[in-house]
Structure 1
Amino acid sequence: MQSSSSSSPASARQLGDTLAAVLGAKVKNVQIALGEVTVTVAAADYLAAATLLRDAAGCQFEQLIDLCGVDYSEYKDGRYDGLRYCVVSHLLSVSLNQRVRLKVFCLDDDFPVIDSVNGIWNSANWFEREAFDLYGIVFEGHNDLRRILTDYGFIGHPFRKDFPTTGHVEMRYDPEQKRVIYQPVTIEPREITPRVIREDNYGGLQ
């Protein structure tokens, strides 16, 4: 049996045609690159498309093996409808030995919200919590959406491209209160100037 991780161009095209036929108007784009199929759907069609991908003949993607957020930031352009935040899922069909990448963009850059697929694939639970924690993407319908990697007192979402590398707060032990406290970060931003080598024969043969 051929490995699903290395589909031939012909099988990838066949899968792309199948997905386009099954999803119909819900498909915004089907892309095939390096033997992998990526399907982009609109936010309004996300749950319906996900259900079809799980149940429809020729799809049967029973397993969600990964889900993550993406921040396109200033790189957003016409290819992404000018939208910043995207949710990317990787689906596996054990029955048909095939994979697909599913993408959907959040409509609001200031408050990114998308439907939760945890009711379709329960493996999405912690993945969606991670995307919420790191990118601030809210998954509507998730019944336990809370941080999973950062601390409860953490401010912001550290995988957003505009998140400062120093963060917003720092922790220290306060001997008077005899406990760990949060305080505004005290690290001062520095501009690092690269060292300039002025030796004439630097890098040359001796």
Structure 2
Amino acid sequence: MTSVAIHPEKLKDVIAQALGDKAREVRVALGEVTVVVHAASYIEAMRTLRDAPACRFEQLIDLCGMDYSAYGDRVPEGPRYGVVSHLLSVSLNQRVRVKVFCPEDDFPMVASVADLWNSAAWFEREAFDLYGIVFDGHNDLRRILTDYGFIGHPFRKDFPLSGHVEMRYDAQQRRVVYEPVSIEPRENTPRIIREDNYGGLH
């Protein structure tokens, strides 16, 4: 039998009490609870969210990196890189979003939570590959989506859309070769065509 989900405002209070000063902020927006935790307390906060009787978030269902250097129309303020996780409690029928910011922009790093939830291992590898965020304590932190010789982190806001190199198969050399990008960067503006009788509408 599935338990009835707790009201978001009540869950906010429960989480705030469980985390104490490990949480920088606990808020409710659009019916969802978001917790921002201190980087120094990240692993302890996540362990508390997993183990505290009123929390019991047994599953980590998502983890991703973020680059806040250009986020919407807002002027960037504070640390550039962050990690966002989504936790689910099956037993208590509740979920929470957890954010932590990397203290250093030049070498973004936070603790790994792979020892708390096995599912975090590949998510953290993806965030490392795409954003260059290092997860301290991860036992196999290597690229997972890009090529072995790939340079840079393609989800960073300052990474060029066309990349730095392109690859092709060279029939004479019988192998894949890497070359500088030959595509001139350009900006495409979609052209909107409106028809008077589109979809039978007048």
Query: TM-score normalised by the shorter chain: which range applies?
Result: 0.7 to 0.9
Residue 187 to residue 81, structure 1, CA distance change in 2 (3 Å): closer
Q: Runs ≥4 in structure 1, deviation > 4 angstroms?
A: 1-4, 76-81, 191-195, 202-205
Tell whether 2:111 aligns with 1:115: yes
- What do residues 56-100 of structure 1 show as CA deviations (whole Å, max 9, x unaligned)? 110111110110111111349999861111100000111111100
Which letter maps to 1:68?
C
SS at match of 1:74: coil
* C-alpha separation in 1, matches of 2:75 and 2:47: 26
Structure 2 letter corresponding to 1:49: A
State the alpha-carbon separation in 1 of the partners of residues 188 and 64 from structure 2.
Answer: 32
Deviation at 1:175, TM superposition (A): 3.4
Match of 2:61 in 1: 65
Q: 1:158-173, aligned counterparts within 5 Å?
A: 158-173=154-169
Classify the secondary structure of the residue corresponding to 1:22.
helix
Q: Is the 8 A contact 2:36 2:98 kept in 1?
A: yes
Equivalent in the alignment of 1:100: 96
Q: After the TM superposition, which residues 42-81 of structure 1 pair with which residues of structure 2 at under 5 Å, given as runs?
A: 42-75=38-71
**Distance of aligned partners of 1:108 and 1:194 in 2 relative to their CA distance in 1, 3 Å threshold:** same
The runs of 5 or more residues in structure 1 that have no matched partner are: 196-201
Query: Is the Cα–Cα contact under 8 Å of residues 171 and 180 in structure 1 kept in the other structure?
Result: yes
Q: Distance in 1 between matches of 2:32 and 2:189?
A: 42
2:65·2:82 contact (CA, 8 Å) conserved in 1? yes
1:170-185 → structure 2 map (5 Å cutoff)? 170-185=166-181
Shift of 1:177: 2.3
Asked if 1:85 corresponds to 2:85, the answer is no
* Matching of residue 12 in structure 1 with residue 8 in structure 2: yes
Q: 1:162 to 1:142 in 2, by over 3 A?
A: same
Alpha-carbon contact 1:76-1:83 (below 8 Å) kept? no
Give the distance between the partners of 1:172 and 1:61, measured in 2 at CA: 46
- Cα separation, partners in 2 of 1:3 and 1:130, compared to 1, 3 Å: farther
CA distance in 2, matches of 1:120, 1:81: 31
User: Within the alignment, does 1:128 sit opposite 2:124 as a pair?
Assistant: yes
Q: Distance in 1 between matches of 2:52 and 2:76?
A: 27
Which shows bigger deviation, 76-85 or 174-183? 76-85
How far off its partner does 1:152 sit? 0.8
TM-score normalized with structure 1 length? 0.85
Q: Distance in 1 between matches of 2:188 and 2:74?
A: 34
- Structure 2 length-normalised TM: 0.87
Q: Which amino acid aligns with 1:140?
A: D
Q: Among 31, 34, 41, which residue is 2:30 paired with?
A: 34
Structure 1 CA distance for aligned equivalents of residues 64 and 71 of structure 2: 18
Counterpart-to-counterpart distance in 1, 2:60 and 2:131: 20
Residue identity matched to 2:62: D
Aligned length: 197
